Structure 1
Amino acid sequence: MPEMPEGKVTQGIAIATVVAFLVLWLGGWLDTASVLGGFIPARVSQLVQVPGAVPIWLTPLSATLVHAGALHIGLNLVMFLFVGRFVEGVIGGGPSLVLYLVGAYAAALGQYAAGPGSAVPMVGASGAISATFGAYAVFFSRSRARAIGPISPFVVRVVWLAAGWIFVQTLIGLASVGGVQVAIAAHIGGFIAGLALARPLLLWRYRGA
């Protein structure tokens, strides 16, 4: 197994996320933070700014710092620290940060598209992390694809990766029980953003080489 890259930006994002969670958890503000800092599609549709809440346009980012509990943030960050370090080793720290931030907005867009009238707050970093997963799939997937007519092998492989991720997320959604709501659309939106940005961000890193 290859040596784990250091991933300073990945670690920094993880640390900031943990600190935010601990402050909210220890202060007993998790529920309040979900309402004031979570991404709520209905507010975007109605352009309603709640007094004391994070500005609507920033909620895709603030939502990544709010988690429902220790298990929620733990699962997210364990996956992110592993996958994110390898992606950062390929594209570098700056592009990795861009990938994460764009992934957060792509996740919010996916969640909005799935239910623009929903008043349920979307919280957690999994949508942004899904973008990192998308880039990881592009860089480290061993699957190969053949061209289909004028469609290049790379595009065919990206489409297959997207289809596979959507299928898995759909199964997760169907298997959710006990009233737990998983932001499936957010995961899909983030992952597709990661697929789309992987190569451009790689080229950005080596643009001066």
Structure 2
Amino acid sequence: MRLPPARATIAITVITGLAWLAAQAAGQVDRMALIAGFIPARISEGLALPGAVPVWLTPLSATLVHANLLHVGFNLLMIAFCGRLVEASVGPGGLVLLYLVGAYAAAAAEYLAMPTSFATMVGASGAGSAIIGAYALLYGKQRAKNWGPIPGRLLHVLWLAIGWIVIQAMLGFASVGLPGVPSGGVIATPAHIGGFLAGLALARPLLLFRYRSA
């Protein structure tokens, strides 16, 4: 099957990649993380950072900041692979909406998990997790059957959510001390879970909205 041009997916990956290259070339990766990353304490503790991006925009600006080549490369590969197929189903507008909502859902989950944290959350993996969630729901084979009054479709969503949460918890536990993870820091597990759940929630509504007149 020939897929339509993945314009939104390409735009997201190109913009994200160029943002990292620009920060890297200017030697401003650490500074960009501080002023553009999402920091829960900016909301709960009123932390003021001169020259920083407005806090309400940081869930989006944080997606443009990455720690190193491995970090940005993995995220771009994830977004490009899953995004192309998801965009074919929900359309470019649907994919962009999915990505934006995923970014804010990721930040919200990170805030709820650690509201007073001064740690900086950066990277596109939270927003990208929304694309992965939609991909898993739209393209994964549904094996769950109806269980009493609970429909199999709902059980399928629940199994995907539980599976992703378990995987992310394991990754978070194993991430301590890995290259690219700051000393004392871990992978943003709550953000990945929040983004994935947003993808699960939005996948079918976006699909139905696109083909509402079919």
**Normalising by structure 2, what TM-score?**
0.93
Preserved CA contact (<8 Å) 1:41 1:118:
yes
What does residue range 148-187 of structure 1 map to in structure 2 within 5 Å? 148-178=147-177, 180=181, 181-187=186-192
Uncovered stretches (5+) of structure 1, i.e. residues with no partner: none
Preserved CA contact (<8 Å) 1:5 1:86:
no
Match of 1:101 in 2: 100
% identical aligned pairs: 54
Structure 2 Cα separation of the partners of residues 204 and 107 of structure 1: 24
Match of 2:75 in 1: 76
Count of paired positions: 208
Match of 2:61 in 1: 62
Q: Counterpart of 1:146 in structure 2: which amino acid?
A: K
Structure 1 Cα separation of the partners of residues 33 and 132 of structure 2: 25
Preserved CA contact (<8 Å) 2:142 2:153:
no
Match of 1:7 in 2: 6
Q: Counterpart of 2:50 in structure 1: which amino acid?
A: P
Deviation at 1:142, TM superposition (A): 1.2
For 1:175-197, what per-residue CA distance to the aligned partner results, in whole angstroms no more than 9, with x for missing partners? 11316220011000000000000
Structure 2 Cα separation of the partners of residues 43 and 184 of structure 1: 20
Deviation at 1:71, TM superposition (A): 0.9
Structure 1 Cα separation of the partners of residues 46 and 100 of structure 2: 22
The alignment status of 1:196 with 2:195, answered yes or no, reads no
What does residue range 28-67 of structure 1 map to in structure 2 within 5 Å? 28-67=27-66
Preserved CA contact (<8 Å) 1:49 1:56:
no
Deviation at 1:77, TM superposition (A): 0.4
**Structure 2 vs 1, CA of residues 98 and 123 (structure 1 numbering), >3 Å: closer, same or farther?**
same
Preserved CA contact (<8 Å) 1:20 1:65:
yes
Deviation at 1:46, TM superposition (A): 2.4
Structure 2 Cα separation of the partners of residues 31 and 3 of structure 1: 42
Q: Secondary structure at the match of 1:121?
A: coil
Q: Secondary structure at the match of 2:150?
A: coil
Between stretches 15-24 and 47-56, larger displacement belongs to 47-56
Q: Secondary structure at the match of 1:157?
A: helix
Q: Counterpart of 1:45 in structure 2: which amino acid?
A: S
Match of 1:16 in 2: 15
Structure 1 Cα separation of the partners of residues 64 and 72 of structure 2: 9
Q: Counterpart of 1:18 in structure 2: which amino acid?
A: G
Deviation at 1:4, TM superposition (A): 5.6
Between stretches 61-70 and 2-11, larger displacement belongs to 2-11
Q: Counterpart of 1:19 in structure 2: which amino acid?
A: L
Between stretches 192-201 and 137-146, larger displacement belongs to 137-146
Structure 2 Cα separation of the partners of residues 116 and 125 of structure 1: 20
Between stretches 64-73 and 38-47, larger displacement belongs to 38-47
What does residue range 134-153 of structure 1 map to in structure 2 within 5 Å? 134-153=133-152
Preserved CA contact (<8 Å) 2:66 2:123:
yes
